[in-house]
Amino acid sequence: MDFDLMINSFPKLLSATVITLKLLSASLFFGLFVGLLFAILRINKNIFINKFAYGYSYVFRGTPLLVQIFIIYFGLGQIEYLRTTFLWVILKEPYWCAIIAFTLNTGAYTSEILRSAFQTIKPGIIEAGKSLGISNRIIFYKIQIPIAIRQSLPAYGNEIILMMKGTSLASTVTLLDLTGVAKYIISTTFKPIEVFIVAGGIYLFMTFLIHNFIKYLEKKYSFQ
């Protein structure tokens, strides 16, 4: 065990964690909107809208995140026409490719989490709102959505942790996130065990923080 290497690589890995956190927060932010949108489409009565939303979540939950990121980064880069459009400004950058892939992936899971939360809302609550003469719109935004978000907190907490670990795949498209820098250090020191232990420790600590934050939210917004 090379403890000096572990100590020396720690600050480098810590500054790479900033990239990991940026990727995570950006994809969770966009993913929440995508997820909410598709959850609403999923509970729509129109069969085409419903099936479309289902198809999206089916495809993105049914394929590995690594494949998705490769298709978006290497796959789309091969289409010559695309390279002449304004889209290339975004797709040229590995950073944005990673965020797009992560957003679409977490969006699919989030839509399922929120859909099931919507469906578990007791009809009595909505009926109570209606009997008070509250409009459907207000019921949806002020009653259904807040309840759904509270209901989905435990599952969504898991999704955040999964996504945090998923960001390590950004290193496969040249980004120097936590895993990317760990691999970089290993490529010059040839000591994977020491470096990955430190990197793993940082991931574990982030999981610890996320887990406790979600637990705090759950307590704060509990119905009791």
Q: What is the DSSP string of 107-171?
A: HHHHHHHHHHHHHTS-HHHHHHHHHTT--HHHIIIIIIHHHHHHHHHHHHHHHHHHHHHHGGGGG
Q: Which is nearer to other proteins, 74 or 141 (CB)?
A: 74
Of 5, 43, 50, 77, the one binding other proteins by CB under 8 A: 77
| Binding status of residue 172 toward other proteins by CB under 8 A | yes
Interface residues for other proteins in 90-129 (CB under 8 A)?
92, 94
| Binding status of residue 8 toward other proteins by CB under 8 A | no
| Binding status of residue 174 toward other proteins by CB under 8 A | yes
What count of other Cβ atoms lies within 10 Å of the Cβ of residue 180? 20
Stretch that binds other proteins, among 16-24, 110-118, 126-134, 180-188 (CB under 8 A): 180-188
Answer for the pair 177, 167: CB distance below 8 angstroms, yes or no. Answer: yes
What is the Cα–Cα distance from 207 to 38, expressed in whole angstroms? 27
Of 46, 48, 78, 224, the one binding other proteins by CB under 8 A: 78
Q: Angle between the 178-189 and 3-42 helix axes, to the nearest 10 degrees?
A: 150
Residue of 2, 5, 189, 24 lying closest to 102 (CA atoms): 24
| Binding status of residue 192 toward other proteins by CB under 8 A | yes
Residue of 161, 174, 176 lying closest to 16 (CA atoms): 176
Q: Which is nearer to other proteins, 151 or 167 (CB)?
A: 167
Q: DSSP 3-state assignment of 216?
A: helix
Of 187, 197, 209, 221, the one binding other proteins by CB under 8 A: 187
What is the Cα–Cα distance from 1 to 104, expressed in whole angstroms? 40
Stretch that binds other proteins, among 107-115, 123-131, 134-142, 182-190 (CB under 8 A): 182-190
Per rule CB under 8 A, count of chain residues that contact other proteins: 16
| Binding status of residue 85 toward other proteins by CB under 8 A | no
Q: Which is nearer to other proteins, 131 or 188 (CB)?
A: 188
List residues near other proteins by CB under 8 A: 74, 77-78, 83, 92, 94, 172, 174, 183-184, 186-188, 190-192
